[in-house]
Amino acid sequence: MLKDFETKKREEKSSLNAEISELQSKLLGQQQLLMKAKLPVIVLIEGWSASGKGSLIKEFISELDPRFYHVESPKVLPESEERFPFLYQYVKSIPVNGKVTFLDSGWMENVVRKYLRHEITKDEYRHRIRQVNELERQLRDSGYVILKIFLHINKAVQYDRLFELVENPATEWRVDKDDLWQHKEYKRFMEAYDEFMDKTGDIAGWHVLDGSRHKTATRDALKLLVQRIDRAVQEGRYEGITSEEDFPLKEMPKLAEVDLSQSMDDEEYKKELKKLQNRINELHNIIYRKRIPVILCYEGWDAAGKGGNIRRLTYALDPRGFDVHPIAAPQPSEAARHYLWRFWTRLPKSGHICIFDRTWYGRVMVERLEGFCSEKEWRRAYHEINEFERMMTEWGAVLLKFWIHIDQDVQLERFTDRENTPEKQWKITDEDWRNREKWDEYEVVVDEMLEKTSTRNAPWYIIESNDKKYARIKTLRIIVKALEKACEKHFRRTME
Amino acid sequence: MLKDFETKKREEKSSLNAEISELQSKLLGQQQLLMKAKLPVIVLIEGWSASGKGSLIKEFISELDPRFYHVESPKVLPESEERFPFLYQYVKSIPVNGKVTFLDSGWMENVVRKYLRHEITKDEYRHRIRQVNELERQLRDSGYVILKIFLHINKAVQYDRLFELVENPATEWRVDKDDLWQHKEYKRFMEAYDEFMDKTGDIAGWHVLDGSRHKTATRDALKLLVQRIDRAVQEGRYEGITSEEDFPLKEMPKLAEVDLSQSMDDEEYKKELKKLQNRINELHNIIYRKRIPVILCYEGWDAAGKGGNIRRLTYALDPRGFDVHPIAAPQPSEAARHYLWRFWTRLPKSGHICIFDRTWYGRVMVERLEGFCSEKEWRRAYHEINEFERMMTEWGAVLLKFWIHIDQDVQLERFTDRENTPEKQWKITDEDWRNREKWDEYEVVVDEMLEKTSTRNAPWYIIESNDKKYARIKTLRIIVKALEKACEKHFRRTME
């Protein structure tokens, strides 16, 4: 009897091993298919401490070509030490088309642990779950294949494994106090994991695997991935359509209605400029100490005066505390990822100011008009951008968006001036003239953009810039007001 | 009398202001020249705390286009918290061709402060000064323009400035205990700064400016930069020649002399593989805890078996603690910087293992043979690489270099096998066949590479790989031995 039992077990084991090998070979073969289909894949592996996440990843990659995948093991920092939005590190690690990222725990562990530690409020917890769903949907809609696995072990198994690790001097360091705390709070974690999976299974479903049986879990995980890739390759790249959520919007005027006659005389300008720059300099100190992130976005017509406007601002700032990001056509590594990736990766650390000279709105302006993206893509973008900006303001960022506005006559004057002044010639290109010819088309898309993305938390400001001095002062005043409000709010929040 | 004096002062001030404006405009004009000449510029601004480094940078950039420059303010971490070689953060921030990086203090502050804090030994201090000179020479030789400024203030001025900052609640946080400590230790710092400048002025000279007179220092600094750029643009990109230092070398056999007949039977292979993988897994734990950085370099003939060899190694490792970097042709942003930049930026954190599948040796092999670099460049590279690798081992890294070796017959067999096996076809390209035709040329350059870069601290290991099993076992044994030695040495060092 017992002998038969043993034989059967042995046979099972060797057949499991054979299955695993076969699946690993299949996965190896899929590399080329994925590359050809340019499909990016994210494998998120969540689960209990000591449930075998690392070992599972080892089996996933054991036959793969290192050019093809990347393993990330993001840490969960205490909320007080986080200098970026909590999704930042995960977004940063999304793969380029044709490649796979394995995440050794991710946004789930981050949200659940912080919530159980009382590092975030119930409200923040809810926001973050919504943000996770938004991120997953945005990735899926732009063609990302997402597989989510949860490795489950019960409390007794976890105890045995942690005990074994702790007992061995060579592996003792692998168990940290978070692991022990999780074990102690096993029940609370169980409920929280459950709730999280409940609320985040719509875009990409969760697969719970039995972490206490390593071989079986490996086989099942491999099978899930192989099947998922097979399906994705067969169906071709998924492209989502726009999803409608009503963001509360501020009403915007049409550009044609904007009165551009304002101006400012030189004396008042100089006085005001100095005053505002001094004030911004003071506020920069507070922003820095209070770790408030600031994101300033400049869009506008060619020659509207964005550069000069930005320089009047940066002159007031400590160069150690800000960055200007001029946005041009994306690099290959940027074009091969979700289009917001290159903005995510340029976000300021909390306490820093970053200035975007042109922004993610390129999607719904130049990329739309020049056909650099599909109609679905730019239609989807309004909503994705509103979500992205809400993530930023929920993170605590001050986010201001300026449309630097001039009329066609003034643009012509400035273009001509640039052409006639040797030191300014580099500023004017054939492309500027081509864009100018499309003024009317641009006006339509800009109006639509202003209408659809002027949310209450991140409204647009139209800056009348026929007179550059007026425009600079107006911009600086808006910045001062917003920074003052943020410093005050932050102050109140810490007082409560 | 006094009235005249005042008038004169006012005139002086306004003429200084005019000079500064003029120099700022000139610098603005030079942007385009630098871009055209593709010259990268590094402006290093060192100096006392509160000497005005930040304000000076503000004046440098006030008229510039943000696309054109980048400001970096690197922190000096305590040595015990440094996870990378001390030069890492500075190398990381070097500009691409045509752009400028402003460093708000850099390698000088790093070395001096750590030395005065007794965080590094006298020996390490000496090594670092040598490394600074090596880095500056490598950058200069590949066309970088380097301007080094030191802002000097005396103890009394520093006192006043620190006092003023501390007194004002808005700026108090700007003074940290390092600043106060520096003030207290003014004399020791003075001597140390002096000594450092003395020992690092050969490649790029130091310019000491009077930080107590902001306007004058600004004018002088601007003038220095404008003149330096003028000269560089006129003279054109500098290209250094090879500099000879005798690195102690290990004698290497010619490839033709290597006996490739070794092999290993399957049973022994399996047993040994398992044993070695287990041992490496144990050692990885120790490496991680002791924060020893490990850099493993794989070079070799096409189809020599690098990939399979690497996989046998990585299977033994925790995926959270290693990275494989497959090296192909450089990206545009890499090609536009010093050629070692893309390797510097891929260095492992201390305690991590990184595996280069092809390496910086591309310079003296494929780039040399295909004419992707100039003769001066590849000739210089042997020496630059030896220096680079010494920086790594002086940092404490284990650095191993494997030449995976086969003969032409075996390569032909493997190529043919790849062509005839559908799943392997992606592994073989026309380029492989073209490279194969150049076998003899490659053999010459590889022999030269092995001869010139097999230093005592980072020797080459030739891995006979006609039999892949033999090769894998041999590689793993070398790795095990080296890691054991490193762990032991590290252990001894901490015991002393």
Predicted pLDDT of residue B496:
46
Distance CA A137, CA A494 (A): 34
A71, A76, A105, A421, best to mutate vs chain B, most B CBs in 10 Å: A71
Task: Note whether residue B240 is domain-resident.
Answer: no
> Which of B28, B71, B314 faces A319 most closely, judged by CB atoms?
B71
CA A478 – CA A458 distance, rounded (Å) = 13
Q: Is residue B249 part of a domain?
A: no
Closest partner residue to B285 (CB to CB) among A32, A171, A318 is A171
Query: Nearest Cβ partner of B67 from A285, A311, A326?
Result: A326
Partners of A405 in beta bridges:
A464
Rounded CA separation B30/B38 (Å): 12
pLDDT score for B241: 85
State which residue of chain A sits closest to B165, comparing Cα positions. Answer: A285
Beta bridge partners of A245: none
Which residues from A are below 8 Å from B332, CB to CB? 331
In a domain, B347, yes or no: yes
Q: Are A319 and B63 in contact (CB < 8 Å)?
A: no
Q: What is the pLDDT of residue A242?
A: 72
Q: What share of chain B is helix, strand, coil (3-state, %, to 5)?
A: 60, 10, 30
Q: What was the pLDDT predicted at A287?
A: 93
CATH, residue B96? 3.40.50.300
- Residue B319 to residue A104, Cβ atoms within 8 A: yes
Q: What is the mean pLDDT of residues A306-324?
A: 93
φ/ψ (deg, to 5) at A454: -90, 75
From A170, A282, A289, residue closest to B285, measured CB to CB? A170
Closest CA to A423 of B207, B75, B30, B22: B30
Residues of A in contact with B331 (CB under 8 A): 331-333
Contact at CB, B32 and A357, closer than 8 angstroms: no
Which candidate from A54, A58, A357 shows the least CB-CB separation from B315? A58
Q: Domain boundary residue among A182, A200, A235? A: A235
Full residue range of the structural domain in which residue B50 is found = 31-235
In angstroms, the CA B287 to CA A170 distance is: 11
Instruction: With CB atoms and an 8 Å threshold, state whether A73 touches B320.
Output: yes
pLDDT in tens, B185-234: 999 999 999 999 999 999 999 999 999 999 999 999 999 999 999 999 99
Q: Are A262 and A205 part of one and the same domain? A: no
Distance (Å, whole) CA B380 – CA B378? 5
Is B116:B189 a contact under the CB 8 Å cutoff?
yes
Tokens of B187: 């004399």
What Rg, from alpha-carbon coordinates, does chain A have?
Answer: 27
Query: Which residue among B104, B170, B325 places its CB closest to the CB of A319?
Result: B104
Measured between CB atoms, which of A28, A31, A319 is closest to B54? A319
Question: B100 phi and psi, to 5 degrees?
Answer: -120, 135
Mean pLDDT, chain A, rounded, equals 94
The SS3 assignment for B355 reads strand
Q: Is A287 in the same domain as A216? A: no
Structure tokens at B279: 């041992």
How far A385 CA lies from chain B's nearest CA (Å)?
25
Whether residue A492 has pLDDT greater than 80: no
Contacts of A365 (CB under 8 A, 6+ apart): A299, A442, A445, A446, A449
B272 token code pair: 């040994």
Structural domain contains residue A394: yes
Q: What percent of chain A has pLDDT over 70?
A: 98
Average pLDDT per run of 10 along chain B, which is 496 residues long?
88 93 94 94 98 95 90 93 96 97 97 96 96 97 97 97 91 90 97 98 97 96 97 94 83 96 96 96 92 97 95 91 93 94 97 97 96 94 97 97 97 94 84 94 97 96 98 98 90 55
Query: Please, which contacts does B441-445 make with residues 24 or more away whose CB atoms are closer than 8 Å?
Result: B441/B369, B442/B301, B442/B365, B442/B369, B443/B255, B443/B256, B445/B364, B445/B365, B445/B368, B445/B369
Count the helices and strands in chain B (H runs, E runs): 19, 10
Final residue of a structural domain among B220, B235, B250: B235
pLDDT tens for A367-379 read 999 999 999 999 9
Please report residues of A whose CB lies closer than 8 A to that of B288: 173
Identity of residue B217: A
Q: How many Å apart are CA B52 and CA B217, to the nearest integer?
A: 9
pLDDT higher than threshold 80 for residue A66:
yes
Which residue, B180, B201, B235, sits at the end of a domain? B235
Judge if A52 and A151 occupy the same domain.
yes
Q: Taking CB atoms and an 8 Å limit, are B61 and A289 in contact across chains?
A: no
Cα angle for residues B139, B143, B146 (degrees, 5° grid): 60
Residue B206 has phi, psi (to 5 degrees) of -90, 145
Are residues A354 and A408 part of one domain? Answer: yes
In a domain, A212, yes or no: yes
Q: How far apart are CA A376 and CA A371, in angstroms?
A: 11
Say how far apart CA A359 and CA B110 lie, in whole Å. 36
Condensed to tens digits (0 to 9), the pLDDT of residues A280-308 reads 999 999 999 999 999 999 999 999 999 99
Interface test with A, best of B353, B423, B425 (most A CBs within 10 A): B423
If one counts every other C-beta atom within 10 angstroms of the C-beta of residue A218, the result is: 23
| CA separation for the pair A377, A141 (Å, rounded) | 9
**Could you tell me if B183 and B263 lie in one domain?**
no
Domain check: are A262 and A303 in the same one?
yes
Contact B310 A66 (CB under 8 A): yes
Statement: the pTM of the whole predicted model exceeds 0.95: no
Compute the nearest-CA separation of A251 from chain B (Å). 33
Residues A221 and A293 in one domain: no
User: What is the per-residue pLDDT for A496?
Assistant: 46
Contact check, Cβ <8 Å, A71/B320: yes
- Residue carrying structure tokens 């093991």: A73
Answer yes or no: is pLDDT of A415 > 50.
yes
Cα A399 to Cα A257, A314, A462, A478, B211: the distances in Å are 25, 16, 15, 11, 37
pLDDT at A249: 94
Average pLDDT over residues A110-114: 97
* Nearest CA among A346, A165, A104 for reference residue B321: A104
Give the integer Cα–Cα distance in Å for B226 and B30: 8
Give yes or no: residues A481 and A355 share one domain. yes
Q: Assess contact for A343 and A368: CB atoms under 8 A.
A: no
Point out the residue among B58, B314, B423 whose CB comes nearest to the CB of A315.
B58
- Closest chain A C-alpha to B407 CA, distance in angstroms: 24
What pairs with residue A211 in β-bridges?
none
Report yes or no on B485 lying in a domain: yes
Record the tokens describing residue B160, joined without a space.
Answer: 């006043």
Q: Which two tokens stand for residue B39?
A: 């010259």
Q: Which residues pair with B402 in a beta bridge?
A: B298, B461
Report how far residue A293's alpha carbon sits from residue B485's, in angstroms, rounded to the nearest whole number.
47
**Burial letters for B68-78: b for 16+ Cβ neighbours within 10 Å, e otherwise?**
bbbbbbbebee
Q: Could you tell me which chain B residue has the CA closest to the CA of A284?
A: B170
Judge: B319–A61 Cβ closer than 8 Å, yes or no: yes
CB pairs under 8 A between A and B: 93
Asked if residue B378 lies in contact with residue B362, where contact means CB atoms within 8 angstroms, the answer is: no
- Inter-chain CB proximity B58 and A318 less than 8 Å: yes
**Among A59, A62, A65, which would you mutate to test the B interface (most chain B Cβ atoms within 10 Å of its Cβ)?**
A65
Nearest CA in chain B to A313: B62
Chain A residues with at least one Cβ partner in B under 8 Å = 25, 28-29, 31-32, 54, 57-58, 61-63, 65-67, 71, 73, 102, 104, 170-171, 173-174, 282, 285-286, 288-289, 307, 310-311, 314-315, 318-320, 324-326, 331-333, 355, 357, 423, 426
Among A45, A58, A164, A327, the strongest candidate for a mutation testing the B interface, having the largest count of B CBs within 10 A, is A58
Q: Which tokens sit at A103? A: 């995440």
B307 vs chain A: nearest CA distance in angstroms? 7
- What is the rounded distance in angstroms from the CA atom of residue B173 to the CA atom of residue B180? 12
From chain B, the residues in CB contact with A310 under 8 A are: 66
Residue with tokens 């120099």: B23
User: Are residues B217 and B338 both part of a single domain?
Assistant: no
Asked whether residue A319 carries a pLDDT value surpassing 90, the answer given is no
CA separation for the pair A100, B414 (Å, rounded): 28
The number of folded domains in chain A is: 2
Inter-chain contact A331–B326, Cβ cutoff 8 Å? no
Q: Do B58 and A319 touch (CB under 8 A)?
A: yes
Confirm whether A464 is domain-assigned.
Answer: yes
Residue in B closest to A59 by C-alpha: B315
Same-domain pairing of B182 and B225: yes
Which of B311, B333, B425, B429 should one mutate to test binding to chain A, selecting the residue with the greatest count of A CBs within 10 A?
A: B311
Quick one: CA torsion of A404, A407, A413, A419, rounded to 10 degrees? 60
Task: Judge if A224 and A281 occupy the same domain.
Answer: no
Residue B287: list chain A partners with CB under 8 A: none
Name which of A32, A104, A286 is nearest B320 (Cβ-Cβ).
A104
Please give the structure tokens belonging to residue A147.
Answer: 């597989």
Six token digits for residue A153: 């072990």
Amino acid identity of B379? R
Residues pairing with B326 in the sheet:
B357
Which of A470, A475, A468 is CA-nearest to residue A413? A468
Test mutation, B71, B171, B176, B334, chain A, max A CBs within 10 A: B71
Does residue B145 lie within any of the structural domains? yes
* A329-338 CB burial, b ≥16 within 10 A, e <16: ebeeeeebbb
Nearest CA in chain A to B321: A73
Closest C-alpha among A374, A369, A293 to residue A339: A374
Q: What are B225's strand-pairing partners?
A: none
Nearest CA in chain B to A314: B62
In terms of domains, do B77 and B202 share one?
Answer: yes
pLDDT computed for residue A422 by the predictor: 82
